[in-house]
Chain A
Amino acid sequence: MASKPRTLYDKIWDAHVVETRDDGTSLVFIDRHLVHEVTSPQAFEALRLAGRKVRRPDLTLAVPDHNLPTTARLDANGKRIPIADPQSAAQLAALEANAPAFGIRYIDASAAEQGIVHVVGPEQGFSLPGATIVCGDSHTAAHGGVGALAFGIGTSEVEHVLATQTLLLKRSKTMEVVVEGLLGPGVTAKDLILHIIGVVGTAGGTGHVIEYRGRVFEEMSVEGRLTVCNMSIEAGARAGLIAPDDTTFAYLKGRPLSPTGNDWDAAVNWWRSLATDPGAQFDKSVTIDASAVQPTVTWGTSPEDVVPVGGVVPDPASFADPSKQAAAQKSIEYMGLTPGQAMCDVSVQNIFIGSCTNSRIEDLRAAADVLRGRHKADNVKWAIVVPGSGLVKMQAEEEGLDKIFTDAGFEWREPGCSACLGMNPDKVPPGERCASTSNRNFVGRQGPGARTHLMSPAMAAAAAVTGRIADVRELT
């Protein structure tokens, strides 16, 4: 008898079920656990209090990212520069002490391999296709870009994974986002995912795992796929997936923690079998026309508040749902905008290029291409580039990108989460606007009172040059 066609999600799920309880809850094995300083101290403390150890330290990797200042970390003598904020310093010190105390490999803040966990995982070959990957961070969804089932968890679940290497989970529903056709020139993976979130809505994927399907993803680089999957959570889905293929394998081959020799061959064989079978059923399906996707920006305080760059700030009355009308009104007030105002008339004072969404080498190249031979506008007070990892930074410097950025008036920083969430000193001042390549435009996300417009790296560079939101296609 032929077995029932399965989705990519079904295949990864089935391969990781330890056992299923009568009530349908399954104990699921976790292959890779990334740990950072913000969501782990309480979990380690709970283990300590209960006298429990980490079951599989070898499947766990710790790296600091959220709290680290992005200014120089070592002085001229190679000595560590102390972190001014005592709370941040204490939290970082806790991770640095907890990791070795529990036998976990720790990447030091000054190591070249340090970076944002979601950049480090794929870059080190720690994140692999078909693996289950968790981290106490909702943007863990990013690792779906290499075909891993990856999702964010809370601190109690971090503790659960540390102690047992498993999670108690219910099987998710599945949703396919089918993108037909190809993206036009100047339209990037970031524009596509912002557009998708606008269609699906910020809660549209709740309870589901999204699989992104279509030729556009087959032709997309791994960096682009990581960007797309990263923001699945902004559509409510805990995880996003793109089937692993030759592009994925070429990206992973030879990375420090990637399989080698016979293991590699066996792994590739299995990875090739993971793609969704023809005829497999999804619980929900959304179709997107790629040719309709324009460079896209956000106008409001939810990632679903998107508009093509040539568009205008919507009139709250244009929304059918009365509660959405009220929310839009509130957002527009917070953002200091006027209904009907052209997005291209909105001036910006701050530019942030970075975050786990857009801080990989390809992102920096795209921004640098726009900035080459240009300078930021006078009204742009603060422009920073925060590479996703020390290795991305080194690669960019080898290519001379740092020079392009600094010549254009940008600051070239050390890796970390930075102004994406304003936990470290990198914040957008109250009432000011930021063209940001990050993932969330929530109220106060980049600092109290800060106004965020999400966009692609090339669009953020165009905003820097013009001092306003601008269509990058008109610059090049």
Chain B
Amino acid sequence: MEPVSAINGRAIPFGRKNVDTDVIIPAEWLKTISREGLGQGAFEAVRAEPGNVFDDPEFAGAPILIAGDNFGCGSSREHAAWALLDLGIKAVVAPSFSDIFASNAFKNGILTVTLPQENIDRLMEVAQTDPLQIDLDSQMVTTQFQDRFHFEIDPFRKQCLAEGLDEVGLTLARDNAISAYETRAATQMPWLSKGTEIAA
């Protein structure tokens, strides 16, 4: 994963609430065995609406998406995160995110910035004409005006993003601890250690 530091640029003022992952990427697009090219199917139904923000040349190549409450609810498909990446989105700013989407975004180096609705309203306004700046280190969203909005982020996620850490690699380094757990569990809950081998 590439390290994340600052994300500066135009933001797509989408603003809609309860955007589900079927809206972000419909099931028809999940037949791929690759992570690439999903931007074509991203927000398919929204893009069928005349005057939608995604096809507005004003926001072409914008690295930030602004959305409403509960962004990414529904399915666990990581294709939603891959589709955003393919569109060039590096950060999503919203009042809240679904748990699974937030996790998927994080694993792909997409920053999910949670801010109160009033801040979102202000950013939606600024985004119409001007860029936003998001800084991970200081945990701040700023505009060229007076806006300075601080956001919270889990310290572990922040470190992984800032350093571009490979989580699987990190955990594999804890092999001894996992093995110790497995030995303990095999004694205490032997039936759980048997899985698909029980009938063999």
Task: Point out residues on A near B: beta carbons under 8 Å.
Answer: 15, 18-19, 21, 23-25, 27, 29, 31-32, 38-39, 41-42, 45-46, 50, 52, 55-56, 58-61, 66-67, 85, 87-88, 90-91, 94, 105, 126, 128, 130-131, 136-138, 140, 152-157, 159-160, 163-166, 168, 170, 202-203, 206-207, 233, 236, 238, 256-260, 263-264, 266-267, 270, 302, 323-324, 327, 421-423, 440, 442-445, 448
Counting CB contacts under 8 A, is B178 at the interface?
Answer: yes
Does the CB pair B108–A61 fall under 8 Å?
A: no
Does the CB pair A155–B78 fall under 8 Å?
A: yes
The listed residue (A42, A52, A163, A421) touching B33 by CB distance below 8 A is A42
Q: How far is the CA of A389 from the CA of B68 in the complex (A)?
A: 38
Interface contact tally, CB-CB below 8 A: 207
Top-8 shortest CB links A-B: A156-B107, A259-B191, A154-B78, A154-B104, A152-B76, A87-B31, A41-B33, A203-B70
> Measured between C-beta atoms, what is the minimum distance from A385 to chain B in Å?
21
Residues of A within 8 A of B185 (CB): 29
Knowing A45-B33, A206-B96 touch, does A29 contact B181 (C-beta < 8 A)? yes
| Most A C-beta atoms less than 10 A away, residue of B69, B78, B156 | B78
Q: Per-position contact with A for B125-161: 1 when CB-CB < 8 Å, else 0?
A: 0000000000000000000000000000011100000
Which residue from chain B places its CB closest to the CB of A105 in the assembled complex? B196
Counting CB contacts under 8 A, is B5 at the interface?
Answer: no
Residues of A within 8 A of B17 (CB): 323-324, 327
> Measured between C-beta atoms, what is the minimum distance from A412 to chain B in Å?
24
Q: Per-position contact with A for B160-200: 1 when CB-CB < 8 Å, else 0?
A: 00000001100110100110111001000111101111110
With A136-B76, A137-B76, A448-B26 given, name 17 new contacts (CB 8 A). A23-B155, A29-B182, A38-B30, A39-B77, A55-B178, A58-B197, A90-B31, A131-B192, A152-B76, A154-B76, A206-B98, A236-B70, A302-B20, A323-B69, A440-B20, A440-B75, A443-B22
The listed residue (A91, A131, A267, A445) touching B31 by CB distance below 8 A is A91
Does the CB pair B168–A159 fall under 8 Å?
A: yes
Q: How far is the CA of A68 from the CA of B199 in the complex (A)?
A: 27
Does the CB pair B190–A202 fall under 8 Å?
A: no
Task: Point out residues on B near A: beta carbons under 8 Å.
Answer: 17-18, 20, 22-23, 26-28, 30-35, 44-45, 68-70, 73-78, 81, 96, 98-100, 103-104, 107-108, 154-156, 167-168, 171-172, 174, 177-178, 180-182, 185, 189-192, 194-199
Q: How far is the CA of A316 from the CA of B117 in the complex (A)?
A: 21
Q: How far is the CA of A266 from the CA of B181 in the complex (A)?
A: 19
Q: How far is the CA of A165 from the CA of B34 in the complex (A)?
A: 23
Knowing A52-B168, A91-B31 touch, does A203 contact B73 (C-beta < 8 A)? yes
Knowing A29-B185, A138-B100 touch, does A58 contact B196 (C-beta < 8 A)? yes
Residues of B within 8 A of A85 (CB): 31
Which residue from chain B places its CB closest to the CB of A125 in the assembled complex? B198
Does the CB pair B156–A23 fall under 8 Å?
A: yes
Residues of A within 8 A of B156 (CB): 21, 23-25, 168
Knowing A45-B33, A327-B18 touch, does A443 contact B23 (C-beta < 8 A)? yes
Does the CB pair A94–B18 fall under 8 Å?
A: no
> Measured between C-beta atoms, what is the minimum distance from A210 to chain B in Å?
13
Pairs A–B under 8 Å by Cβ, sample size 5 = A58-B196, A85-B31, A137-B76, A259-B194, A421-B75
> Measured between C-beta atoms, what is the minimum distance from B9 to chain A in Å?
25
Does the CB pair A67–B178 fall under 8 Å?
A: no
Does the CB pair A440–B74 fall under 8 Å?
A: yes
> Measured between C-beta atoms, what is the minimum distance from A230 to chain B in Å?
13
Q: How far is the CA of A454 from the CA of B22 in the complex (A)?
A: 16
Residues of B within 8 A of A442 (CB): 20, 22-23, 74
Residues of A within 8 A of B195 (CB): 31-32, 56, 58-61, 126, 257
Knowing A21-B156, A88-B31, A443-B45 touch, does A166 contact B171 (C-beta < 8 A)? yes
Q: How far is the CA of A258 from the CA of B195 in the complex (A)?
A: 9
Q: How far is the CA of A422 from the CA of B22 in the complex (A)?
A: 11
Residues of A within 8 A of B96 (CB): 203, 206
> Measured between C-beta atoms, what is the minimum distance from A187 to chain B in Å?
26
The listed residue (A126, A152, A202) touching B196 by CB distance below 8 A is A126
Q: How far is the CA of A19 from the CA of B17 in the complex (A)?
A: 37
> Measured between C-beta atoms, what is the minimum distance from A284 to chain B in Å?
15
Knowing A39-B77, A152-B100, A166-B171 touch, does A157 contact B194 (C-beta < 8 A)? no
Q: How far is the CA of A86 from the CA of B92 in the complex (A)?
A: 34
Knowing A18-B181, A60-B196, A154-B78 touch, does A448 contact B45 (C-beta < 8 A)? yes
> Measured between C-beta atoms, what is the minimum distance from A369 to chain B in Å?
32
Q: How far is the CA of A233 from the CA of B100 in the complex (A)?
A: 10
Residues of B within 8 A of A164 (CB): 168, 171-172, 174, 178
Does the CB pair B100–A238 fall under 8 Å?
A: yes
> Measured between C-beta atoms, what is the minimum distance from B171 to chain A in Å?
4
Residues of A within 8 A of B81 (CB): 154
Residues of A within 8 A of B192 (CB): 31, 128, 130-131
